[in-house]
Amino acid sequence: MKIIMVKLLSIIDPYKMAVKQLRNAVELLGYDKSVFEILSKPQRVLEVNIPVRMDDGSVIVFTGYRVQHNNALGPYKGGVRYHPNVTRNEVIALSMWMTWKCSVTGLPYGGGKGGVIVDPRRLSIRELEELSRGYIRAIAPIIGPEKDIPAPDVYTDPQIMAWFMDEFSKLKGYNVPAVVTAKPEELWGSKGRIYSTGLGVAIIAREAARKIGIDISNARVVVQGYGNVGFFTAKFLHDVGAKIIAVSDSKGGVYDPKGLDPEKVMEFKRKTGSVIKYPGASTITNEEILLLETDILVPAAIEGVITLDNAASIKAKIIVEGANGPTTPEADKILFKKGVKVVPDILANAGGVIVSYFEWVQNLQGHVWSEEEVKERLERHIEHAFHRVWLKAERDSIDLRTAAYLVAVERVVKAMKLRGWI
């Protein structure tokens, strides 16, 4: 029997980025070193090995993680990603960002995150199911509706959440729908969850545009990353009249100054595997797409794409971060000096976790909200969070990321103090 250990290294270290952002907030808030020491480290890191019998009879052992950063405000909450470049430090950083995301949006959650080092596109459906069930069995002792509630992330979806929920329920001996969110609607999933992150990004883009005097119905928009978040962001902005002039996926992008139809581009991608070579549009690289002249740029792919090397060449007026950690701290400083408004990930892409919270509430109550009710609640919730951060930035003459971190970190620290942790 052939056994292979799968463990890959990541080129960048998002944890260092997350720590820099936290240190800046802690210093500006005037907290002592102990606060930074507590918040810069997760409360728990679980590493698991998941053996999967492959279709050819071999066994591959996949490495997975579940990181629980801080639960001062409530149960840990955060997605699980399947990606060949997952690392321990990446998952720690993502769990930290989830703490701030839940805090800045006023949710009763702390931050958690999970990941498995795998390229799921290379697995059969049976292999993917076995991996998913094995992962949830491995982390089952530390999750649950009152402990830690996973959700989808990169290359995971409602079907995988269904397997998670079912496997956890088997272990408990009864149905536990509230253990994960973003499930299929037939298995207690919330209406609207599938597009909630993209809708939230679109709402934030609209509000940011309004703040600086741009009419969203005439705005030019560039979207780097055309997965779930990028597509739905483009779709909802297109629906209100915005012109989507460029989109890209991992293979490259397409550009048309006259505007693209997001749904037709997605249909083309599903047929061909990529947006490149979309009829009537020019081909563009993922590096070039970031530098296009546009009103709104939505980086919705991976972390670390806007850096010290390209920030000075950014021509967008507003950057709305659909991805987690797409802008480095060094780039932030350059963009702020240029007058570019950067709406940070912990606020901009919070629509998914907000509707996940709605799903969790519905599951706990045994109730179902209408799609319209979910959308209305999401809009109110994320608008309130955005205007609170914008006001903080204006009052203190700081960038939006710093403002968001100050709001988020202060709420967590207040909770820790009230609980007697510090």
Handedness of CA 398, 402, 403, 409 (dihedral sign): negative
The single residue of 77, 101, 113, 191 carrying the catalytic annotation is 113
Residue 321, both tokens: 């971060």
- The one-character DSSP state at 226 is -
Cα–Cα distance list, 242 to 216, 217, 237, 316 (Å): 6, 5, 5, 15
What type of residue sits at position 49? Answer: N
Query: CB of 254 within 8 A of CB of 281?
Result: yes
Distance, in Å, from the CA atom of 376 to the CA atom of 273, rounded to the nearest integer, reads: 34
Distance between CA atoms of 101 and 113, rounded to whole angstroms?
Answer: 12
CB atoms within 10 A of CB 150: 29
What's the rounded Cα separation, in Å, for the pair 403 and 388?
A: 9
Tokens 């969850």 — which residue?
Answer: 193
C-beta neighbour count of 251 within 10 angstroms: 14
**Cβ-contact 189, 195 below 8 angstroms:** no
Rounded CA-CA distance 154/14 in Å is: 16
- Distance (Å, whole) CA 346 – CA 111: 11
Residue count of the chain, please give it.
Answer: 422
Structure tokens at 399: 């960038």
How far is residue 209's CA from residue 240's CA, in Å, rounded to a whole number? 13
| Tokens coding 201 | 């990004």
Tokens in use for 48? 């698991």
What distance in Å separates the CA atoms of residue 109 and residue 102, rounded to the nearest whole number? 6
Ramachandran assignment for 325, one of left (phi > 0), alpha (psi -120 to 50 degrees), beta (any other): left
Query: Does the active-site annotation cover 113?
Result: yes
Burial (CB count within 10 angstroms: exposed 0-12, middle 13-18, buried 19+), residue 32 = exposed
Rounded CA gap, 310 and 125, in Å?
A: 40
| Active-site amino acid positions | 113
